[in-house]
């Protein structure tokens, strides 16, 4: 009964999405305020119905209702509760449900928090959002219905793919989708602005919080996914340039560019056309990612759907929205008026360069991801484009961004002083060079590693140079009111500094992989093995029974200079239902570095084949992403930029704002 | 600077970055693309030693030999032709005789494929797409996309995929 309610709620949500598409749009054309006003409650109700439907599906999974095909294929009665809940999105149908849930959540959020947006623009934007919801709801109802029943119902399910039974999977997809789909708000607003034909600096203010929020979630989602791959796949890699990973990197790069160009548009009313284009691009790339992952065109662990009907449907959605938006862009963009002027050497100039490089690197990833597919479609040749391609193209295009980021922060709007900015970066550059020399003295790494480490330090120090200059206007001597000055700085300035520094932290982690040690050994009990500065010793093997698997654990001690500093327990799990083994890497974090051990089966001689890694500073890769997202969060909570500020600002006189 | 000069600087830098990107991509695509072949195709194309390749097929039943250390040899077959493969390192969890496999490496002078990485997919019901295609080409396998006849796995009761 609950399942039928869920199915019915989904159909109702579809009907509501059609209403949301048609009525406000019509209202905006007919200047009928009452019709436009329908959009808001409908968007909220639609979210409520999809949430209800999603809850029904979750209930079926938790209650192990094996009359549902989706539950049978992906669940098992002995599966732990957390994976019964997260398993809902661990399959094609469920993950589309999560996608639509967040899509309608975005629509509802836009409806609830965008009172500052002019009613006409909001009506059109919610109408576009409604059309998006309608397309994806129809996709679920027609091709991927999670509520399909199975008769007769089997007694037991097939269990969830064991590598997906992991806490990382419980967090990664929702974060990633909040990022992916969060860009839909920006897309809808851009499309609505093009339909309306009037775009000014206020538009940048409307999209900025949504872009920032989506960007933060996407940053966290990508980092989480990368860490999940790192510890579950058992070979210590954290980024494989797999098409599925690239699919999440593409909107991130476009979104990062959008953040920066929106800043220019907001402050200087320049780059209007470009900002609109990026707003369309970011979500278009999210859609492309969904197509790649959900249609099954890729060879990848993520592509569990391989039904051509689904692929064609998503391709249709893709063509409709990207094509439609680009068509609107083509016909309307030329009528936009040119904005403020700026000298090439200025904050705007630096941000333009940032945008050029980010979109170019985005294009390189795009080509590397889609070229093999295109080639196969054209002449049947199967090729793979791996890490060397991306290192050679993405690397050189992103490197200047890293060098320019601190410089851009120090240039002033309109016309900047390059020499002055370079002068102020002197300290950061010295730190970077010193770090480079120190790192170069540590043997065993390629040149790229210590150059990267030097640039990382420069980037971190450089990121805070601007803030430092504002807190201590005349050197450290002026520390008297420093605290108050620091408190008085806008949060968005702190946000920028932290986001840039986070990039530096990640880069440091990446560079440090150059000093990593990898060993494959047949470990015997009682013998010690050197990994970097540490020694590993096998103490013994034990077996235990988990809820739905059998596990063999290897207990090892980690010593440094004779002292035991940690214990490490890599394991091998065998999932009985799917008859499938997984490797649970043993990981210990020591001084931001990690010892990583993954084991194979025991040999006949009793020795244990294992991969041993020492990865210095590797955790910084993900810590950096956290810092970036933290910076984004700070920026988001800046009072001046919050959603709905424009309206409040109109009511409160400028002087009173600081006190409130 | 005049308005025109400013615009020219903007367009110039845009073209510069675009040119750099295109140049890098063309250069990288020339040297860093790895082709995928099945054993039959390898024989047909007379692949020379040293050229980096990905090969895929089924691990021939009975061909897996563990040598000293962590070295193994096995044969990759598509039912028509087969290629001997040598690999040193830990095999992935799902590596089994009779299962699909993808290996990346190059042929040595003796005609043995020296693999430096072995991929077995992380879902045993899932066949690497290239492998499935290579097998279909040889008429060995005509099954559905997800449950190749070659896998000898008891299907869980009630699974409808």
A210: distance to nearest CA of chain B, Å?
Answer: 28
Chain B positions in Cβ-Cβ contact with residue A165 (cut-off 8 Å): none
Residue in B29, B37, B159 nearest the CB of A158 = B159
Write the CA distances from A657 to A205, A208, A267, A484, integer angstroms: 18, 20, 19, 18
Question: A644 CA to chain B: closest CA distance, Å?
Answer: 34
Residue A254, CB half-sphere, CA atoms under 13 Å: how many? 31
Angle between the N-to-C axes of helices A491-512 and A447-471, in degrees from 0 to 180, rounded to the nearest 10: 160
Using the 8-state DSSP alphabet, how is residue A561 labeled?
A: T
Instruction: Read off the pLDDT of residues A82-99 as tens digits, 9 standing for 90 and up.
Output: 899 988 988 889 999 999
> A364 to chain B: which residues are within 8 Å by CB?
21, 24-25
* Residue A131, beta-bridge partner list: none
Half-sphere exposure of B55 (CA within 13 A, CB side): 32
Cis peptide bond prior to B49, omega within 30° of 0: no
For residue B135, the distance in angstroms to the closest alpha carbon of chain A comes to 14
A370 and B CB contact within 8 Å: no
Residues within 8 A of B (CB atoms), A 572-601 only: 577-583, 598, 600
* The predicted structure's pLDDT at residue B144: 40
Question: Among A42-51, A118-127, A544-553, which stretch is predicted with the lowest mean pLDDT?
Answer: A544-553
Q: Do B121 and A301 touch (CB under 8 A)?
A: yes
A285-B122-A84 Cα angle (round to 5):
80
pLDDT, residue B153, reads 30
Best to test chain A binding among B1, B7, B95, B129 (most A CBs inside 10 Å): B129
Which portions of chain B are predicted below pLDDT 50?
122-126, 142-161
Q: A467 is written with which tokens?
A: 């803030």
* Domains of chain B and CATH, by start: 35-137 (2.40.50.140)
Phi and psi at B125, nearest 5°, equal -85, -5
Per-residue pLDDT reduced to its tens digit, A366-387: 999 888 888 877 777 778 888 8
Q: Does A161 touch chain B (CB under 8 A)?
A: yes
Q: Closest Cα of chain B to A385: distance in Å?
A: 5
Contact predicate A86/A76, CB 8 Å: no
Q: Which two tokens stand for residue B36?
A: 């995928």
3-state percent breakdown (helix, strand, coil) of chain A, nearest 5: 65, 10, 20
B90 contacts A600? CB cut-off 8 A: yes
pLDDT at A303 over 50: no
CB contact under 8 A, B128 and A299: yes
What stretches of chain B show up as alpha helix (H) in DSSP? 3-31, 39-45, 129-137
Q: Which contiguous run of DSSP H or E holds residue A249? A: helix A243-268
How confident is the model over A327-355, as a mean pLDDT? 83
Confidence of residue A655 (pLDDT cuts 50, 70, 90): very low
Please state at what angle helix A92-113 crosses helix A39-62, rounded to 10 degrees: 150
Residue A478 has pLDDT above 80, yes or no: no
Asked if A384 lies within 8 A of B54 by C-beta distance, the reply is: yes
pLDDT mean over A337-354: 81
Nearest to A234 by CA among A655, A509, A583: A583
Query: CA-CA distance, A299 to A422, in Å (whole number)?
Result: 47
**B71 touches B112 (CB < 8 A):** no
What is the C-alpha separation between B17 and A353, in angstroms, rounded?
9
Pairwise CB contact (< 8 Å): B130 & A343: no
The C-alpha atoms of residue B135 and residue B57 are separated, in whole angstroms, by: 7
Say how far apart CA B144 and CA B148 lie, in whole Å. 7
At residue A656, does pLDDT exceed 60? Answer: no
CA A307 to chain B, closest CA, distance in angstroms equals 9
Q: Which residues of A touch B158 (CB under 8 A)?
A: 66, 72, 150, 153-158
Bridge partners of residue B57, in order along the sequence: B101
Nearest to A385 among B33, B122, B145 (CB): B33
- How far apart are the C-alpha atoms of A133 and A46, rounded to whole Å? 9
Q: What pLDDT score does A157 carry?
A: 84
- Can you name the residues that pair with A580 across neighbouring β-strands? A575
A624-634 pLDDT tens trace? 999 999 999 99
Average pLDDT over all residues of chain A: 87
CB-CB under 8 Å, B6 with A158? no
Tokens, residue A525:
């009990």
| Structure tokens that stand for B67 in this block | 């040598």
Considering only CB atoms, which chain B residues are within 8 Å of A71?
Answer: none
Of chain A, the percentage scoring pLDDT greater than 70 comes to 93
- Pick from A156, A520, A600: which is nearest to B157 by CB? A156
* Buried residues in B73-97 as b, exposed as e (16+ CB within 10 A): ebbbbbbbbbbbbbbebbbbbbbbe
Cβ–Cβ gap A156/B156 under 8 Å: yes
Chain B CB within 8 Å of residue A234 CB:
yes
Q: How many CB pairs under 8 A join A and B?
A: 143
Q: Does A651 touch chain B (CB under 8 A)?
A: no
A611 touches chain B (CB under 8 A): yes
Are A382 and B36 inside 8 Å of each other by CB? Answer: yes
Angle at A195 between CA A193 and CA A199, to 5 degrees: 30
A377 touches chain B (CB under 8 A): no
Place of tokens 């006003």: A37
Say which of B20, B29, B158 has its CB closest to residue A158.
B158
According to the model, what pLDDT value does residue A477 have? 66
Is the Cβ pair A396, B20 closer than 8 Å?
Answer: yes
Closest CA to A340 of A266, A424, A283: A266
Contact A349, A342 (CB under 8 A): yes
Predicted pLDDT at A506: 96
For residue A607, the tally of other CB atoms under 10 A from its CB is 15
pLDDT digits (tens, 9 = 90+) for A240-281: 888 888 999 999 999 999 999 998 888 888 888 889 999 999
Q: Do A156 and B69 touch (CB under 8 A)?
A: no
Q: Which helix (H) or strand (E) holds A292?
A: helix A272-294
Q: Which residue has the higher pLDDT, A209 or A386?
A: A209
> What ipTM is given for this predicted complex?
0.75
Q: What is the average pLDDT across A339-346?
A: 77
């Amino acid at each position: 009964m609950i399942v039928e309610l869920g199915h019915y709620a989904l159909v109702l949500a579809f009907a509501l999405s059609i209403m949301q598409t048609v009525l406000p749009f019509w209202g905006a054309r007919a200047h009928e305020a009452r019709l436009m006003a329908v959009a808001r409650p409908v968007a909220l109700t639609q979210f409520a119905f999809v949430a209800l439907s999603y809850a029904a599906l979750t209930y079926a999974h938790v209650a192990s209702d094996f009359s549902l095909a989706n539950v049978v294929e992906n669940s098992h009665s002995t599966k732990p509760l957390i994976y019964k809940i997260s398993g809902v999105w661990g399959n094609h149908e469920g993950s589309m449900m999560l996608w639509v849930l967040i899509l309608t959540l975005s629509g509802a959020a836009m409806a609830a928090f965008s009172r500052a947006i002019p009613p006409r623009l909001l009506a059109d934007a919610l109408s576009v959002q409604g059309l998006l919801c309608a397309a994806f709801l129809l996709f679920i109802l027609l091709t991927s219905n999670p509520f399909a029943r199975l008769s007769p119902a089997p007694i037991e399910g097939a269990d969830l793919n064991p590598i997906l039974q992991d806490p990382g999977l419980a967090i990664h997809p929702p974060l990633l989708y909040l990022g992916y789909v969060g860009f839909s708000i920006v897309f809808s607003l851009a499309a609505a602005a093009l339909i309306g034909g009037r775009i000014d600096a206020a538009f940048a203010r409307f999209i900025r919080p949504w872009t920032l929020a989506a960007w933060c979630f996407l940053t966290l989602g990508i980092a989480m996914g990368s860490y999940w791959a790192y510890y579950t796949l058992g070979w210590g890699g954290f980024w494989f340039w797999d098409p599925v990973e690239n699919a999440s990197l593409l909107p991130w790069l476009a979104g990062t560019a959008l953040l920066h160009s929106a800043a220019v548009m907001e402050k200087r009313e320049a780059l209007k056309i470009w900002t609109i284009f990026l707003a369309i691009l970011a979500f278009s790339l999210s859609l492309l990612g969904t197509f790649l992952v959900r249609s099954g065109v890729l060879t990848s662990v993520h592509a569990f759907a391989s039904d051509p009907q689904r692929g064609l449907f998503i391709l249709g959605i893709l063509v409709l929205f990207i094509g439609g938006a680009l068509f609107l862009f083509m016909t309307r963009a030329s009528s936009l008026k040119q904005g403020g002027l700026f000298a090439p050497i200025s904050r705007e100039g630096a941000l333009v360069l940032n945008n050029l490089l980010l979109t170019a690197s985005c294009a390189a990833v795009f080509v590397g991801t889609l070229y093999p597919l295109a080639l196969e479609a054209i002449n049947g040749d199967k090729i793979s484009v791996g890490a060397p391609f991306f290192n050679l193209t993405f690397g050189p295009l992103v490197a200047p961004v890293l060098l320019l980021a601190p410089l851009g922060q120090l240039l002033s709007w309109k016309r900047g002083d390059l020499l002055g900015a370079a002068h102020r970066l002197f300290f950061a550059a010295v730190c970077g060079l010193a770090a480079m020399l120190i790192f170069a003295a540590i043997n065993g790494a390629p040149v790229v590693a210590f150059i990267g480490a030097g640039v990382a330090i420069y980037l971190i120090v450089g990121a805070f140079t601007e803030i430092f200059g504002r807190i201590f206007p005349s050197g450290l001597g002026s520390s008297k009111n420093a605290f108050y000055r620091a408190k008085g700085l806008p949060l968005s300035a702190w946000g920028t500094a932290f986001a840039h520094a986070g990039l530096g932290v990640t880069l440091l982690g990446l560079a440090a992989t150059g000093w990593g040690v990898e060993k494959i050994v047949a470990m015997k009990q009682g013998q010690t093995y050197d990994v970097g500065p540490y020694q590993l010793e096998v103490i013994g093997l034990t077996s235990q029974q988990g809820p739905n698997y059998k596990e063999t654990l290897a207990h090892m001690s980690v010593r440094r200079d004779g002292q035991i500093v940690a214990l490490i327990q890599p394991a091998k799990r065998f999932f009985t239902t799917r008859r499938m083994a997984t490797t649970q890497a043993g990981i210990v974090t020591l001084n931001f570095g990690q010892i990583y051990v993954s084991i194979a089966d025991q040999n006949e001689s009793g020795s244990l084949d294992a991969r041993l890694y020492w990865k210095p500073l590797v955790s910084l890769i993900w810590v950096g992403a956290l810092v970036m997202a933290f910076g984004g969060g700070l920026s988001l909570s800046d009072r001046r930029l919050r959603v709905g500020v424009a309206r409040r600002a109109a009511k409160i006189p400028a002087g009173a704002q600081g006190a409130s | 600077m005049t308005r025109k000069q400013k615009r020219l600087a903007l367009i110039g830098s845009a073209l510069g970055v675009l040119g750099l990107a295109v140049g890098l991509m063309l250069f990288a695509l020339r040297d860093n693309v790895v082709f995928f072949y099945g054993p039959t195709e390898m024989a047909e194309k007379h692949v020379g030693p040293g050229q980096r390749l990905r090969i895929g097929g089924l691990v021939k039943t009975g061909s897996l030999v563990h040598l000293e250390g962590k070295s193994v040899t096995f044969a990759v077959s598509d039912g028509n032709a087969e290629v001997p493969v040598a690999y040193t390192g830990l095999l992935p969890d799902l590596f089994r005789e009779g299962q699909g496999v993808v290996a990346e490496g190059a042929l040595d002078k003796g005609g043995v494929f020296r693999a430096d990485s072995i991929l077995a997919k992380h879902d045993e019901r899932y066949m690497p797409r290239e492998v499935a295609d290579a097998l279909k080409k040889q008429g060995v396998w005509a099954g559905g996309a997800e449950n190749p006849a070659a896998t000898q796995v008891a299907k869980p009761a009630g699974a409808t995929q």
